Structure 1
Amino acid sequence: MTDYVQFEERATANGKAIGIARLNSEKSLNALSLAMIDQLAPKLTAWEQNPHIALVVLEGAGDKAFCAGGDVVALYHAMKESGDGGEAVAPFFLKEYRLDYQIHCLNKPVLVWGHGIIMGGGLGLMSGASHRVVTETARIAMPEITIGLYPDVGGSFFLSRMPGKAGLFLGLTGANINAADALYVGLADHFIAADDKERLFDALCHVNWGDTLRLNHEKLSHALKTLEQPARVKLPRGQIKGHQDRIDALCDGDDLAVIAERIAALKTDDSWLVKAQSTFSHGSPLSAAVLFEQLKRGKTMGLGEVFRMEAGLSYRCGEFGEFQEGVRALLVDKDKKPQWRYRHVSEVDPTVVNHFFESPWGLQHPLDDI
């Protein structure tokens, strides 16, 4: 069987072991596939139930990426071949969100080594970990607006809880952020230099792990902090904190059309803001409208509610066709000329947005058990 995920159990000094799961598709920047999910989910369950395993580590193969997102090209082909785009994408998204939720709830410490590109589905894996480490190479984004999707994988939860309007801005613009930003907005817990990875793993193998969950969490935190302090000199300069007032001013209010006009009218020579402005101007207006409503609702939802809502939204994205067109233009034909259904957020039909938030499964949701 192909090792879409490589698994290792590394022995520690006191007889416990560390379960290491490595996303193993370096060529695709470790894009999360259905095959990966099908291998990772049962192994996490087995490790959770195994008293010999003290903690779990998730990492990506190679130096370029932890995980660059979901395998949306595979979803494009599934939608194209199917007469029902919603039914075509549902199996992947339902399994992906169930995996994300599993990581959030795992009864063991979970460390994610967040290096290189961490986007979309990769952020879904990372956000649920108990100990989220980023390095100076981390490049993080939720760029779904560029493919006619929306920031899923729990984005309704973590974007809506960021400082000020940072979550809305990142969702609308797909702006790239770095390790400092991730710490500031709550997407990461620790910063460790990329070169210290093996030192960290060696240190973890010499921790006196026990059987008490709380103490194991504390021991992992202590090991990370020991390496974190010397690494701070390599922490890059963040973008969001310095731009927070401007972001809040741009995204203030309850009228998305007004926010869109503010972003479009922005006059600046700041390269980060210019790129964010350009991405928003070329993104799907329908995705922006869905995101705007999604974050309003997600702010008061629990995790299970969030993943059930997002499962329905993803189904509707496949059903409506905007997602298929966005992937075609950006990643398949690569003409970068998507034919969006609406030209501007002011033209998006509110009844269509409302339809996106109506569950396709009625009262029997497939994620009712989470």
Structure 2
Amino acid sequence: MDQDPPVLFSRRGALALATLNLPKALNALNLEMIELLDRQLQEWAADDSVACVWIEGSGEKGFCAGGDVVSLYKASNGYGEAPETEYTTEFFSREYRLDYRIHTYSKPVVVWGSGIVMGGGIGIMAGASHRIVTERTRMAMPEVTIGLFPDVGGSWFLNRMPGRLGLFLGLTGAQFNGSDSLFAGLADRMIADNERLATLDSLADLPFSANEGENHRLVSDCLKGLELRLDRQPASNLRAHYDQIQVLTDFASLPEVCDSIISYEGEDEWLNKAAKTLAGGSPLTPWIVWEQLRRGRHQSLAEVFQMELTLAVNLCATGHFREGVRALLIDKDRSPQWQPDSLNGIDWKDVEHCFEPPWQGAHPLADL
């Protein structure tokens, strides 16, 4: 029996629709999905009959749970035909090109980010011109649990959050809801989850023209009119705990910040879970987060993705990544044995090495 393609494409007049279509895998991005979506976005960009793009995920659980890290794990352990650096370079290069294309797309791009939106899902959503969340949205950049780092432009959007929220979320992998994403600048509108079809209908009925600026305004005004009333939006942990997060992260060195977060002894369940995740996560990831945000603060968007590609390829070759994925997704014992097993056990030279391009010749994303 023929299987449905992993990304579905359709049209409603001038509105073009893309649907991530691996619901059993929570629409986790594999290389084929990335290539299909990127190719179609290029075609739509050149098609004068397309005025606006809509991206969503199939199934009830969410938009996209992240990237296909199991395939990266297999490559890093020598499975398959491609050497690990070759496969990881191809995967992340294509993913980051897709993310960069969305960031720089001239036509309106609307992402329906309901349910689970994590990792690579945030990468697709972050660069869209119109980012919709719902009362069911659950976001996170949980890479600390698998020895990676908040990539897909994390060096860009985490640095642009209020105060040190980006640092806190990058270190702890804490989950946050739709109201949090509005407060942090990762979303533009909250619309009720059951209003998806009505939202699509409203967008499809807009009087689009050849004027892209006018089309952006039409989409913005349309979504504004559909926004969920404030009194029906879930409470924001990031807003409620903003001052406390600033206190917890108000130190000049990474070990002090991590000790402060891990030592939290309050009664708040959300902060306790964040502290526990950081304490049990890879001790290499916090050093990478600290340094990527420092370096990325004044980088261009292209430079951010170039730096992150270097990091992604290097970190996939580390024992921390292999052990993190093994514990969470392969053996599922949730008991990673990190080596080294502490923040202070990490050699700073190993951190610096992660920022050194592993390729000979030109950087694979030099042309961004």
Q: TM-score range by the shorter chain?
A: over 0.9
In the superposition, the TM-score normalised over structure 1's length comes to 0.96
Q: Is 2:5 aligned against 1:3?
A: yes
Q: CA contact under 8 A between 1:65 and 1:118: conserved in structure 2?
A: yes
Q: Aligned partner of 2:108: which letter? A: P
Q: Identify the residue that residue 184 of structure 2 maps to in structure 1.
A: 185
Distance 1:80 1:3 in 2: 28
SS of 1:53's equivalent in the other structure is coil
Task: Report the alpha carbon displacement of residue 2 of structure 1 after superposing the two structures with TM.
Answer: 4.7
Q: Identify the residue that residue 278 of structure 1 maps to in structure 2.
A: 276
Distance 2:177 2:124 in 1: 17
Q: Identify the residue that residue 71 of structure 2 maps to in structure 1.
A: 74
Q: Aligned partner of 2:110: which letter? A: L
Task: Report the alpha carbon displacement of residue 232 of structure 1 after superposing the two structures with TM.
Answer: 3.1
Give matches, 1:104-183, under 5 Å.
104-183=103-182
The match for 1:51 among 48, 51, 54 is: 48
Q: CA contact under 8 A between 1:191 and 1:232: conserved in structure 2?
A: no
Q: Identify the residue that residue 88 of structure 2 maps to in structure 1.
A: 89
Q: Identify the residue that residue 193 of structure 2 maps to in structure 1.
A: 194
Distance 2:290 2:352 in 1: 12
Distance 1:315 1:55 in 2: 34
Q: Identify the residue that residue 299 of structure 2 maps to in structure 1.
A: 301
What 5-or-longer segments of structure 2 have no aligned partner? none
Q: Identify the residue that residue 35 of structure 1 maps to in structure 2.
A: 32
Distance 1:42 1:356 in 2: 30
Task: Report the alpha carbon displacement of residue 116 of structure 1 after superposing the two structures with TM.
Answer: 0.2
Q: CA contact under 8 A between 1:79 and 1:318: conserved in structure 2?
A: yes
What 5-or-longer segments of structure 1 have no aligned partner? 12-16
SS of 2:136's equivalent in the other structure is coil
Q: Identify the residue that residue 60 of structure 1 maps to in structure 2.
A: 57
Q: CA contact under 8 A between 2:182 and 2:188: conserved in structure 1?
A: yes
Q: CA contact under 8 A between 2:191 and 2:226: conserved in structure 1?
A: yes
Q: Identify the residue that residue 338 of structure 2 maps to in structure 1.
A: 340
Distance 1:6 1:239 in 2: 35
Q: Aligned partner of 2:9: which letter? A: F
Q: Identify the residue that residue 206 of structure 1 maps to in structure 2.
A: 205
Q: Identify the residue that residue 239 of structure 2 maps to in structure 1.
A: 241
Task: Report the alpha carbon displacement of residue 253 of structure 1 after superposing the two structures with TM.
Answer: 2.3
Q: Identify the residue that residue 21 of structure 1 maps to in structure 2.
A: 18
The match for 2:347 among 346, 349, 353 is: 349
Task: Report the alpha carbon displacement of residue 234 of structure 1 after superposing the two structures with TM.
Answer: 2.3
Q: Deviations over 1:123-160 (max 9, x none)?
A: 00000100000000000000000000000000000001
Q: Aligned partner of 1:22: which letter? A: T
Percent of aligned pairs sharing the same letter = 47
Distance 2:171 2:255 in 1: 12
The match for 1:232 among 206, 212, 230 is: 230
Distance 1:177 1:234 in 2: 17
In the superposition, the TM-score normalised over structure 2's length comes to 0.96
Q: Identify the residue that residue 14 of structure 1 maps to in structure 2.
A: none
Q: CA contact under 8 A between 1:5 and 1:40: conserved in structure 2?
A: yes
Q: Deviations over 1:186-225 (max 9, x none)?
A: 0000111011111111111221100011100000000000
Distance 2:190 2:360 in 1: 43
Q: Identify the residue that residue 324 of structure 2 maps to in structure 1.
A: 326
Q: Deviations over 1:266-293 (max 9, x none)?
A: 1111000110011000100101101110
Off by >4 Å, runs of 4+ in structure 1: none
CA-atom RMSD in angstroms: 1.3
Q: Aligned partner of 2:213: which letter? A: R
Q: CA contact under 8 A between 1:85 and 1:320: conserved in structure 2?
A: no
Give matches, 1:303-318, under 5 Å.
303-318=301-316
Larger CA deviation: 299-308 vs 70-79: 70-79
Q: Deviations over 1:293-315 (max 9, x none)?
A: 00111111111000000000011
